[in-house]
Amino acid sequence: MAEPLVVVVGGANVDVKARTTAPLVDATSNPGVVLRSPGGVGRNVAENLARLGSRVALVSTVGNDPDGDWLLAQTAAAGVDVAPVLRGGATGRYVAVLDHTGDLAVGVSDMAATDSLGPDALDHDLLRAADLVVLDGNLPATTIDAALDVADRVVVDPVSVAKAARIAPLFRPERPVFAVTPNAHELRALGSVAALHGHGVEVVWVRRGAEGSELHPASSGPVWLAAPVVDPVDVTGAGDALLAAFCHALLRGVSLEDAAAYGHRAAALTVADPHTVVPDLSARMAR
């Protein structure tokens, strides 16, 4: 039997992360460490899935530039099928400044490449062949709309309050969505758990950071899950690991609650690691 296929549609960019080695002081230079790593919500989710052992293809776009070459090579080396990734323009970048505790102080996104990923970038046959499709809320609303028309089982990560508000009108009962994974602020932009259920969303997974999360299946009552306690090193990518591990576990037949708990373990390992995606994630999850 073939390994289940996950198709991730979303952003791929280069992350530049600067972390101070002492408490952050505004409006001046701070001593610290600066690292470059592969990034982008969609790309991070795809790499986490591949490192956990899932068969995954990435639909994205990167530039015809050295950053794009490097990003594709790094992503393919992790086990992701990057054949559907388009080339053109300049590769996106995300710059994050973290304080000495690993918490995000400020971030700047240059997502023009992802903004250009229109509906014609979608391979309908690939989406139909997928056992699960993950959509990154950074995509244009028209692209998410087109993907929802084609794919059978979809998970949508709203990504931010602004993006959540943009995609809220896309959920309709006549084309059900398997899961939406907002944080509390994004949920308010989407409406409410009840509203999302009414618009055809089967599972609403409300993420509350270090506190944990709430699973809201349409068919039963809510379930609260605590997050593992961890000393943070770098919070970047934790939500992407959470989502990827959740999807990976679901495709292996575990319950929603167990899949969400598996996601929390992956997020905890990511927060405690300096990498955006933990390089030996599968081995560490098995311990």
pLDDT digits (tens, 9 = 90+) for 103-125: 889 989 898 999 999 999 999 99
| Percent of the chain clearing pLDDT 90 (strictly above) | 89
Q: What is the mean pLDDT of residues 66-74?
A: 97
Q: What is the mean pLDDT of residues 56-62?
A: 97
Q: What is the mean pLDDT of residues 41-66?
A: 97
Task: Assign residue 215 a region (left: φ > 0; alpha: ψ between -120 and 50; beta: otherwise).
Answer: beta
pLDDT in tens, 10-28: 999 999 989 999 999 999 9
| 227: pLDDT strictly greater than 90 | yes
| Percent of the chain clearing pLDDT 70 (strictly above) | 100
Confidence class for position 286, pLDDT limits 50, 70, 90: confident
Q: Which residues pair with 183 in a beta bridge?
A: 207
Query: For residue 1, what pLDDT is reported?
Result: 63
| 36: pLDDT strictly greater than 80 | yes
* CATH superfamily label, 5-13+40-92+118-285: Ribokinase (3.40.1190.20)
Nearest to 195 by CA among 180, 183, 208: 180
Q: What is the mean pLDDT of residues 59-81?
A: 97
Residue 87: both structure tokens together: 């080339």
Strand order, beta sheet including 104-110:
32-39, 13-20, 92-98, 104-110
Per-domain residue ranges of the chain: 5-13+40-92+118-285
What average pLDDT does the chain have?
95
Q: Which residues pair with 8 in a beta bridge?
A: 58, 134
Q: What is the mean pLDDT of residues 123-149?
A: 97
Task: State the virtual CA torsion across 241, 183, 36, 46 in degrees, nearest 10.
Answer: 40
> What burial class does residue 236 get, using C-beta atoms within 10 Å of its C-beta: 0-12 exposed, 13-18 middle, 19+ buried?
buried
Q: What is the mean pLDDT of residues 82-100?
A: 94
Q: Which residues contact 204 (CB under 8 A, 6 or more apart)?
A: 179, 180, 182, 187, 193, 196, 197, 215, 216
171: which DSSP letter? Answer: -
Residue 262: both structure tokens together: 């598996």
Say how far apart CA 133 and CA 44 lie, in whole Å. Answer: 15
